[in-house]
Chain A
């Protein structure tokens, strides 16, 4: 789950019925100004109320913010290079192990 998403409309063009907007998550490591600008057609927005308008912008931005999150680089110091097959905790001391954060994961298939 992501924290709140920020958006900043950077321009609006009623003639072309388009706007430009930036997205990032609230705890992004950079200012929102540093993130890419996206064009959104008014056709993809819901002008029936302010809540509906914000929700329609959010629906565009949520996957963008998620992708930004996934695309963030892994610090060299955080890279895991250990694949340990052991139930002895002493074997784990001092090593960085990478595991999925999700409770749903793929089963490991072995070719026999």
Chain B
């Protein structure tokens, strides 16, 4: 039997949705329950698409995906291998978010542009044990980070950077 273990982690500004499953698992979500806007594949592979559409994305381990355009749609996921996916969920679909993996060894979100003064920034550990400003993070640890401060990163793991736009 193909199975999937699913759980959530919450914080005041966003949620994390984790799916760990076997090959050939099929997951369907409707817009009422779908709040995932970014996805990170820890391992495995699977096809993700809008219901009944032939175009699909292949989620792969170690890669980050922007799935904001699917948040109002019926979607399906079919795993081609055993898989481990972490979803970044907005709490409100009207909120604007940007997301990406962090590659730089020194992170600085300082900007004087007036239109981004009210942005908020969060980092989340997706894998491994990266070290930020001397603190070792583990999977699902998160931190709000702030402008006018530099964050030195040792990339002994995978970190995502998420920006709340308003």
Contacts and interface: CB of A to CB of B under 8 A. Distances in A.
Majority secondary structure, A binding face: loop
Contact of A112 (B11, B138, B140, B151): B151
Chain A: interface size category: 10 to 19
A108 B6 contact: no
23 contacts: A85-B138, A103-B7, A104-B7, A105-B9, A105-B10, A106-B10, A107-B9, A107-B11, A107-B16, A107-B124, A107-B140, A107-B141, A107-B142, A108-B140, A108-B141, A108-B142, A109-B141, A109-B142, A109-B143, A110-B137, A110-B141, A110-B143, A112-B135
A109 B19 CA distance: 21
Nearest to B7: A103
Contacts of B16: 107
Interface string A38-65: 0000000000000000000000000000
Contact of B135 (A103, A106, A107, A110): A110
Most chain B C-beta atoms within 10 Å of own C-beta, residue among A104, A107, A111:
A107
Contact of B143 (A103, A104, A106, A112): A112
Interface in A71-112: 85, 103-112
Contacts of A109: 11, 141-144
Interface of A: 85, 103-112
B7 A105 contact: yes
Interface string B61-101: 00000000000000000000000000000000000000000
B145 interface: yes
Majority secondary structure, B binding face: strand
A111 B10 contact: no
Contacts of B142: 107-110
Nearest to A108: B141
A106 to B, nearest CB: 6
A108 to B, nearest CB: 5
A108 B143 CA distance: 8
Interface string B1-22: 0000011111100001000000
Contacts of B138: 85, 108
Nearest to A103: B7
Contacts of B10: 104-107
Contacts of B7: 103-105
Please give me the 10 A-B residue pairs with the lowest Cβ-Cβ distance, nearest first. A103-B7, A107-B11, A107-B9, A104-B8, A110-B143, A112-B143, A110-B141, A108-B141, A112-B133, A107-B142
Interface string B125-166: 000000011010110111111000001000000000000000
Contacts of A107: 9-11, 16, 124, 140-142
